[in-house]
Amino acid sequence: MSTDDIIKKLTDSIKVTSYIDNELFIKYNVKRGLRNEDHSGVLVGLTTIGDVVGYERQEGGPLKAIPGKLIYRGIDVEDIAESLQKTHRFGFEETVFLLLAGYLPSKEELDSFNELISEQRRIEDMSKFSILQLQGHDIMNILARSVMIMYTFDEEADNTSRENLMKQAVSLIAKFPTIIAYAYHSMRHTYQGRTMAIRHPKDNLSIAENFLYMLKGPDNYTELDARILDMALVLHADHGGGNNSTFTIRVTSSSGTDTYSSVTAAIGSLKGPLHGGANLKVIDMFNHLKEVISDWNNEAEIKEYLLKMLRKEAYNRTGLIYGIGHAVYTISDPRAEILKVMARDLAKEKGREDEFAFLELIEKLGVETFMEFKGNNVNKRVCANVDFYSGFVYEMIGLPKEVFTPIFAMARIAGWMAHRIEELNFDSKRIIRPAYKNVADRKDYVALEQRSRK
């Protein structure tokens, strides 16, 4: 039997042996995806970091959909965003401080924190050269491998004391933009024959400015581009404990593993197209729709195509409309609302209003078509999520699509580390270890010479 045949046999066999009747999930009251019948998440922990609000619990009754709210350490993210916009300040650094420390820094604390971030941005030569040697087209994958390389060069890598975790948090938050910019240039150099620009990070620049500087060079971005990126970082910095990547960091941290292993796992989770990777999928889907829809204002034509997508008859046949739907938000995702305004303003400035109008129509019709398609099978509302407009915004400030999901990681590393520190420090901590009911039939062991399978 050839090795190809054995792969085919293994694959054919799991079609049968991995089949589990849907009814069994109901019989054993399994919370698929750790979700209750009403789509709310199963409560698995307590946190004081991010709060994600999409519905209200009515006593004895169903959930009531409400406009979404995102709260960082008790503070409404919309208030943070509004203050930053009014005062034309960069705000990611103070958001990171807020998430890590639990309170907003004073001016003096923020200045010292910025200095600390500045000091930590550089990657020592040994790890830099190892990172630059990593091959591959996917920056999320290179980021994950770079984080594992950092383990090698951290003498205190396995130390999970509070102080060491905080040091590692600052180091990772400061270094992610550097790694992502270097990985992008290295990838372009290797696969696209372009010049490799490895710029040293600069002191006195915000994280957003520094990233644009390292990625694009000093004269290729504007202050407005940097402020838009900064806002995107603020909006992506945390999303409570239940989102897939943060839950991943909480699960892995609960085993006591090191920071680098835990962060690598979270990067892998975020890359998924149902999570952070959706920002890339939305742009891909949007480009596809730009081509196949002949009239961008024809609601009937767009709706018919979206329906085909939901029926798995068109686009990538997954049945998904990317950027639509959320595990918690129902009426709105506050981050998507802010990004949408930014997208509209930028589109006006860049002469891309037709594209913005088309994307906005896809949002409206995507929600409508989804609700019609699902009918009574889905008892919750859907809305555009954070990934719906972010890619379009990044594109308009001249960022390549390869860094869209890495930018999400560059922001979320703050939330991940805050949650890791919380997971490892609360008094009644316990390894996360839920249960799986085995529903397979028991069989006798058969000696090798007596097995007769074809």
Ligand X SMILES: CC(=O)SCCNC(=O)CCNC(=O)[C@H](O)C(C)(C)COP(=O)(O)OP(=O)(O)OC[C@H]1O[C@@H](n2cnc3c(N)ncnc32)[C@H](O)[C@@H]1OP(=O)(O)O
Ligand Y SMILES: O=C([O-])CC(=O)C(=O)O
Contact positions with ligand X (CB under 6 A) in 309-328: 310, 319-327
Alpha helices by DSSP H, 193-298: 207-216, 223-236, 244-254, 259-270, 278-292
Spatial neighbors of 287 by CB under 8 A, at least 6 apart, are none
- Determine which residue in the list 387, 395, 422, 423 makes contact with ligand X, applying CB under 6 A: 387
**Nearest approach, Cβ of residue 89 and ligand Y (Å):** 23
Please say which residue, 207 or 386, places its beta carbon nearer to ligand X.
386
Please say which residue, 121 or 271, places its beta carbon nearer to ligand X.
271
DSSP labels, 377-406: G--S---B-THHHHHHHHHHTT--GGGHHH
Q: What is the dihedral of CA 224, 227, 229, 234, to 10 degrees?
A: -160
Asked if 144 touches ligand Y (CB under 6 A), the answer is no
Q: What letter would DSSP give residue 452? A: -
**Nearest approach, Cβ of residue 83 and ligand Y (Å):** 21
Here the tokens at position 49 are: 């970091």
Q: Which stretch binds ligand X (CB under 6 A): 17-25, 51-59, 103-111, 377-385?
A: 377-385
Strands 50-57 and 75-76: unpaired
Please say which residue, 33 or 256, places its beta carbon nearer to ligand X.
33
Asked if 239 touches ligand Y (CB under 6 A), the answer is yes
Contact positions with ligand X (CB under 6 A) in 255-274: 274
Contact positions with ligand Y (CB under 6 A) in 52-81: 52
- Determine which residue in the list 228, 327, 382, 403 makes contact with ligand Y, applying CB under 6 A: 327
- Determine which residue in the list 139, 263, 293, 386 makes contact with ligand X, applying CB under 6 A: 386
Please say which residue, 227 or 239, places its beta carbon nearer to ligand Y.
239
Asked if 234 touches ligand X (CB under 6 A), the answer is no
Which residue is nearest to ligand Y, using beta carbons?
243
**Alpha-carbon distance 49 to 158, whole Å?**
24
Contact positions with ligand Y (CB under 6 A) in 72-131: none
Please say which residue, 91 or 277, places its beta carbon nearer to ligand Y.
277
Q: Tell me which residues are annotated as active site.
A: 326, 387
- Determine which residue in the list 7, 371, 378, 446 makes contact with ligand X, applying CB under 6 A: 378
- For 321, the 3-state DSSP assignment is coil
Q: Is 5 exposed, middle or buried (0-12, 13-18, 19+ CB in 10 A)?
A: exposed
Judged by beta carbon distances under 5 to 8 A according to partner kind, the member of ligand Y, ligand X, none in contact with residue 321 is ligand X
Strands 50-57 and 63-72: antiparallel
Do 102 and 48 meet the contact criterion of CB atoms below 8 Å apart?
yes
**Nearest approach, Cβ of residue 261 and ligand X (Å):** 22
Q: What letter would DSSP give residue 40? A: P
Site string for ligand X, 173-212 (x = CB under 6 A): ----------------------------------------
Do 77 and 70 meet the contact criterion of CB atoms below 8 Å apart?
yes
Paired residues of 75 in beta bridges: 72
Paired residues of 55 in beta bridges: 65
Spatial neighbors of 392 by CB under 8 A, at least 6 apart, are 282, 283, 286, 343, 347, 355, 356, 359
Please say which residue, 205 or 249, places its beta carbon nearer to ligand X.
249
Asked if 227 touches ligand Y (CB under 6 A), the answer is no
Asked if 386 touches ligand Y (CB under 6 A), the answer is yes
Nearest to 183 by CA among 417, 413, 400: 400
- Binding residues (CB under 6 A) for ligand Y: these are 52, 239, 243, 327-328, 385-386
